[in-house]
Amino acid sequence: MLLQLRELAAGAVLASRPVEDAGRRLNQGFAWTRASGYQSSRSKVYLPDEPDGREATWFDRGSLDPSLVTCHDAQVGFQLCTEMLFTDVSWRLGRAGAHVIAAPRATGGHRRWRAAASLVAVVSGCFVASSNRRSYERDDFVGQSWIVSPDGDVLAETTAEAPIASVDIDIREATSAKERYPQNLLLPG
């Protein structure tokens, strides 16, 4: 699969994949660019054990360490699917200096996911690119991907009719967002 990324017209790919590391099975985020190639990032911590996703059975728990990767000029962190519902990951990524959070998902259409994408952006002070899998034979995976500003505003959204969205971002917006409320709060600890 990784060798085929060069065949894409994309300059960068932000996604996750299963990996084995020291005998542990992990769901790990990665960035790939033509210039830098493959860069692994953090592995998923919050693993559901539900009828439609037995990740707690399939994978070992990863780490909360932000493990940012460089993608062009941006520092990128990963918050994988269910992790979008937990703001501690968002906060850690923002404090580590991320400009963008990649949040790949395989979810249904519940409104919690759009709300979560906006909250991830606000808590972290980062742009959020949340891509979702789409299934066509059944309604299990509905697509609905978003690009969200550091203030939580949806800048672009995909639909079945428009399955691709892109936005030019200025990473200085993510840097300045971290100087404003609520990212500028001093937290205990």
Residue 134, pLDDT > 80, answer no
Average pLDDT over residues 86-115: 92
Query: Predicted confidence band at 132 (pLDDT cuts at 50, 70, 90)?
Result: confident
Specify the pLDDT at position 10: 83
The enclosing H or E element of 177 equals helix 171-177
Query: Mean of the per-residue pLDDT values for the chain?
Result: 91
Q: Which residue has the tokens 């991830």?
A: 120
Query: Higher pLDDT residue, 118 or 111?
Result: 118
Query: Higher pLDDT residue, 126 or 163?
Result: 126
- For residues 174 and 125, the answer to whether their CB atoms sit within 8 Å is yes
